[in-house]
Structure 1
Amino acid sequence: ESATAFACLVSDMWLGEFDYVSPEAFHSVFGKRYPTFSRRTQHDAQEFLICVLDDLHEAFKEVRAQLCQERQSPGAGASTRSSRGTSIITQLFEGQLSHGIRCLACKSHSEKPESFTVLSLPIPSTRVCSLQDCLECFFQPDTLTLSNQIHCYWCGGNQDATVKASITKAPPIIIFHLKRFAWQDKNRRKLSTTVCYPFSDLDLSPYISASCRNTREYSLCAVVNHAGDMDYGHYTAFCKHSVTKHWYSFDDAQVTKIPDSEVQADTAYLLFY
């Protein structure tokens, strides 16, 4: 039901018959399935996005499984089964990380895979940094000690270890979440750091595994902004028209064309490439 409501919303947007389109119908249907998002209170855009993508994935996966079952022939069983876990959502947004773990005692190495639809990046500065700085911070090696030790199969117990992540599958559309909400002295606060992000030629090759042949460069296509603090705020979005290449600002019922210079914002929270 929510997938149908979302399809109607997107269809209305692309028809171009209105100055703006209200998502109220979709919000109403989605709120019934997920009551957390039905209340008129501030919610985290990243959490909402992941929930929407997961819900659409499950809906599309069911439809695909039904179609595959209807078309199934005696010789197509294996390929049919292997396709049931995918959808247009996973094809567009899902990537794969591999966490390389090395035991510091016996030097054994293992790999732990992890799927992602959104990469949550730490912000390493309180004033100004770049998206590349955030990526380098995310992908830098980490040492696990004390209560964070890993259980080493070869040693038969917990050991200190190093962990380094790399991308083994880069999705066609990659979403970055800038972690602006951080803990400080047992209190959460919002980081107002200016994060400079490129409009084109985002190169992820330094973070991609040698086994991954995907060397595409990414261009910015949308930004979700959050203005406010921990307890209240306002979300807006900048979106690039895929045909005209013009940028537009979406602020409730106000949809305005904006110059490229306004797309770089201190309030950026989610980046879509």
Structure 2
Amino acid sequence: MAETTSDLAPEFGCVADCRSGSIWCQSCEDFIYDTEVDRVLRDTSKDLQRKDLLSKKRSMSEALAYADAEEASYLASNSNKRICGKDGMRGLYNLGQTCYMNVILQTLFHEPLLTTYFLGHRHRMYDCSESNCFVCQVAEVFAEFHEEKEEGFGVLNFLLSSWLSSPDLAGYQQQDAHEFYQFLVNKLHATAEDHVDGYEQKCRCFFHKAFFGKLQSSVTCHRCRNTNRTEDPIMDLSLAFQVQRKKKALHWIPGDSESTPSLNGCLDSYTAPEELPASDYNCSWCGTPQGATKQLRLRKLPVILCMQLKRFERHRSVSEKVDTKVAFPFSINMAPYTTSANSKNIFKYTYDLLSVVVHIGDIDSGHYLAYCRQGEQWFKFNDDRVTWATDAEVLDADAYLLFYTLRSLSGS
């Protein structure tokens, strides 16, 4: 076989077979070896092997073994991933201050259960008769994200659909990523074929099971010890860290890492008993105003758990953003914050970090970016710019929204 360098003479015609890597020289009438082409092929092969390793996930059947039988059966039957689907890492073009939308979509794109649902054609766009169907629009962007392409793309049709669905979103003004997430979840639930209207009824649609949980509020009278319990649906938790930060600041010791507010500390404060004065509570059993103790607990956890850190505060006519760092873990056991706080089944309550949404700038202007996990690797999504991210970089981010996904159903 003839051999040449990478600087092939332009007057000699060469034909390359991209599948085998072979190069045929029309002048030599023989296969030739090119060192530069060989290097490129070796590097490309290594990249493909690395991506293949990162994209491997634990099988759905193994993950579902730890989940509630009824819930697992329903979610699994509605989440069959298309075999030819690709685990994409594509950016999204900013269509005019639409970074708030991009970070939420990137978060959902990387959630395993939603990916298997939409790529498994559980919502059949070709059979859907609904005019301007919102679920169809979401299914379309999921499909486009997982195409065999690497360049960024724009979700103009989805943006216009969201504008039509919510006049508050229409236009190119600044929007809040948390509010957009709430809009998106509510819209998916409302347009699901088998959804049930009204929170007092039990809805069994896929999106309700994936996004919604239940929060229980218990108020115990100090006099008669009667406890009044109410339940409300939730799609996220809004956690304050200002009180935790101020308490730690009063007892701060140089070099003490515990002076940094933490997500667990926020959850502890959120579910801690709160004393209510008699002026704020009228006991239904005693029939008179009495002092009472109120406590919030999670009655039911969603598969996708969104936690908002309250960084935007408004005091009368003054608004400000709090830039304090809040520490958060890669995985968290939510059992201590539920009505089953003493449960030994940690698999049922263990969540893994899926996405970290960061807001850069002040309260009136700024920019959103997101860190999302793909397999075991983290990526930074800054609109259409996608870069690798280290674990340390993710944990050091000033999180505004934290998305965790249930380990027993996500395949993490």
TM-score, normalised to structure 2, is 0.57
Structure 1 position 138, deviation (Å)? 0.8
**Correspondent of 1:183 among 275, 294, 314:** 314
Residue 334 of structure 2 corresponds to which residue in structure 1?
204
Whole-angstrom distance in 2 between the partners of 1:239 and 1:198: 14
Contact 1:19 1:255 in 2 (8 A): no
| Distance across 1 between alignment mates of 2:289 and 2:318 | 32
Instruction: Identify which of 349, 355, 359 aligns with 1:222.
Output: 355
Structure 1 position 211, deviation (Å): 8.2
Alignment partner, residue 169 of structure 2: 37
**Greater Cα offset, 86-95 or 207-216:** 207-216
SS of aligned partner of 2:304: coil
Residue in 1 aligned with 2:271? 139
Task: Give the C-alpha shift of residue 184 in structure 1.
Answer: 4.5
Give the match's secondary structure for 1:4. Answer: helix
Range with bigger deviation, 224-233 or 206-215: 206-215
Greater alpha carbon shift after TM alignment, 165-174 vs 184-193: 184-193
Q: Deviations over 1:35-68 (max 9, x none)?
A: 11112111111111011100001111xx1269xx
Opposite residue 159 of structure 2, the aligned amino acid is H
Residues 9 and 21, structure 1, Cα contact 8 Å, conserved in 2: no
Could you tell me how far apart the structure 1 residues matched to 2:334 and 2:294 are? 19
Deviates more, 1:47-56 or 1:162-171: 162-171
AA at the equivalent of 1:161: A
CA RMSD between the two structures: 2.2
SS in 2 for 1:174: strand
Q: CA deviation at 1:204?
A: 1.5
Asked whether the equivalents of residues 336 and 342 of structure 2 are also in contact (C-alpha less than 8 Å), the reply is: no
Q: CA deviation at 1:185?
A: 6.7
1:243-265 CA-to-partner distances (Å, cap 9, x unmatched) read x3211111111112222221124
Of residues 375, 379, 387, the one that matches 1:248 is 379
> 3-state SS of the aligned residue for 1:226?
strand
Shift of 1:146: 5.9
Bigger RCO of structures 1 and 2 (CA < 8 A, at least 6 apart): 2
The partner residue of 2:229 within 111, 134, 151 is 111
1:97 maps onto 2:215 in alignment: yes
**Alignment correspondent of 1:47:** 179
Percent identity, aligned pairs only, is 30
Aligned to 1:72: none
What secondary structure does 2:275 align onto?
A: strand
The 2-side partners of 1:207 and 1:261 are apart by: 27
Which of the numbers 301, 311, 324 marks the counterpart of 1:170?
A: 301
Q: TM-score, normalised by structure 1?
A: 0.84
The residue aligned with 1:130 is: 262
Gaps of 5+ in 1: 67-81
CA contact under 8 A between 2:335 and 2:342: conserved in structure 1? Answer: no
**Structure 2, gaps ≥5 residues long:** 1-132, 247-258, 405-412
- The structure number with the bigger radius of gyration is 2
**Which residues in structure 2 correspond to 1:81-92 (within 5 Å)?**
85-92=203-210
Q: CA deviation at 1:105?
A: 2.9
Q: Aligned equivalents of 2:317 and 2:161: distance in 1?
A: 37
Q: Measure, in 2, the Cα distance between the counterparts of 1:250 and 1:52.
A: 20
Distance 2:155 2:302 in 1: 27
Q: CA–CA distance in 1 between the matches of 2:231 and 2:368?
A: 33
In the alignment, structure 1 residue 15 sits paired with structure 2 residue 147 = yes
Q: Which amino acid aligns with 1:99?
A: S
Instruction: Output the CA distance in 2 between the equivalents of 1:252 and 1:211.
Output: 40
Which residue matches 1:154? 285
Residues 261 and 16 of structure 1: CA distance in aligned 2, closer, same or farther (over 3 Å): farther
Give me the whole-angstrom Cα distance separating, in 2, the residues matched to 1:94 and 1:212: 23
Deviation per CA, 1:184-212, whole angstroms, max 9, x where unpaired? 47522111111111112x01222121389
Give how far 1:218 is off: 1.0
Q: Which amino acid aligns with 2:245?
A: S
Which structure's residues are more often strand, by fraction? 1
Which of 346, 349, 365 does residue 232 from structure 1 map onto? 365
